[in-house]
Homo-oligomer: A and B are copies of this chain.
Amino acid sequence: MRVAEADTKSIGPDLLGIEELSAEQITAILDLAEHYREQMNGGTEKLDDLQGIVVANLFFEPSTRTRTSFNLAARRLGADTVDFSSSGSSLSKGETFVDTALTIEAMGVDLVVCRHRTPGAPHMLARHLKAGVLNAGDGTHEHPTQALLDMLTIRQRRDIRGLKVALVGDIRHSRVARSNIHGLQKLGAKVIVCGPATLIPRTITQLGVEVAYNLDEILSEVDCVNLLRVQFERQRGAFFPSIEEYAHLFGMTGERIRRAKEGLLVLAPGPINRGVELTPDVADGPNSLILNQVTNGLFVRMACLSLLAQERRRLRQSG
């Protein structure tokens, strides 16, 4: 964040990661998201909190789901949106990447939602742009709105303080895991990371988490499992012997649900691989909150965009 904020309700001019947020700021986002949920359920009136604001989606990594969610969130609040996606661009052409963003900004853009394969890319943008920057995933670093929607989904069912949450799967490459670790711990949850030893970096304990290599051993003590997506495009057999083996050891099944704590919350960031991270009966069963996560994603993104737009308006008036 470029501006130190006295008011804890402000999240600053950019949203780059959960690591930089205080518990109060996270709670402020979740509260506003909940507020939007109530307003949207009430009817079909169009909100105008982002009236006159232009939101640009700069996606340098393909993503239909997240981009669509941000687009809908922005438009539900009355913003204009513009998509500027390019999978061909790369940070190796550093200046070009920033020049592209500066050009978009010069078209009158207020908020830039950025996804990039390079960790820190949104931070670089934030240093160069006056527009607010929202990190929609930067390499293996952070994916703050995913963690926020996960936390909102959990909070709708349980008090997060004191809760035990397992993040299951590829911890090494997961920005979702990193953002969840930061956020859940700030809100007072205990986090266990669980997966094949090859996919859990040894340094992860420095973040204050517990490590487990056997899902069955922790099943009876956790209140929530977040089943990270197996990213076939990244694995190529290097990190675990086979998909079948992975599913056997770490896949959530009806049988495992029965051995888990009653009311186990099952989350998955999706898109899910049925039969890998979880079996269809679990995905469609009563413990699954997968579609709630998608819906909450809309509300969380509305809240983030709205808070950044407020800050943007404040800066514009004062400067």
Residues of chain A touching chain B, judged by Cβ–Cβ distance below 8 Å, are 40, 43-46, 51-54, 64-65, 68-69, 71-72, 75-76, 80, 82, 84, 86, 95-96, 99-100, 102-108, 270-272, 274, 280, 291-292, 294-295, 297-298, 313
Residues from chain B with a CB closer than 8 A to the CB of A64 are 84, 86
- In the bound complex, CA of A76 to CA of B164 (Å): 48
From B44, B54, B102, B291, give the contact of A106 (CB < 8 A).
Answer: B291
From B72, B106, B271, B274, give the contact of A295 (CB < 8 A).
Answer: B106
Residue among A44, A84, A270, A297 with max Cβ neighbours from chain B (10 Å): A44
- In the bound complex, CA of A298 to CA of B103 (Å): 11
Closest residue on chain B to residue A301 by CB atoms = B107
Residues from chain B with a CB closer than 8 A to the CB of A271 are 96, 99-100, 103
Indicate whether A82 sits within 8 Å of B68 (C-beta atoms), given known contacts A44-B52, A99-B271. Answer: yes
CB distance B107 to A69 under 8 Å?
yes
Residue among A40, A43, A54, A64 with max Cβ neighbours from chain B (10 Å): A64
CB distance B82 to A54 under 8 Å?
no
- A38 CB, nearest partner CB in chain B, Å: 14
Residues from chain B with a CB closer than 8 A to the CB of A75 are 80
28 A–B contacts, CB within 8 A, in A order: A44-B51, A44-B52, A44-B53, A45-B51, A45-B52, A46-B51, A46-B52, A64-B86, A65-B103, A68-B82, A68-B104, A69-B107, A75-B80, A76-B80, A99-B271, A99-B272, A99-B274, A100-B271, A103-B270, A103-B291, A103-B294, A106-B291, A106-B292, A106-B294, A107-B294, A107-B297, A107-B298, A108-B298
DSSP class of A's interface residues: helix, strand, loop or mixed? helix
Residue among A76, A82, A108 with max Cβ neighbours from chain B (10 Å): A108
How many protomers of this protein does the assembly include?
Answer: 3
CB distance A72 to B76 under 8 Å?
no
- In the bound complex, CA of A293 to CA of B170 (Å): 46
Residue among A99, A104, A294 with max Cβ neighbours from chain B (10 Å): A99
CB distance B68 to A295 under 8 Å?
no
- In the bound complex, CA of A86 to CA of B43 (Å): 31
Residues from chain B with a CB closer than 8 A to the CB of A297 are 107
- In the bound complex, CA of A175 to CA of B182 (Å): 53
- In the bound complex, CA of A125 to CA of B86 (Å): 30
Residues from chain B with a CB closer than 8 A to the CB of A106 are 291-292, 294-295
- In the bound complex, CA of A86 to CA of B68 (Å): 13
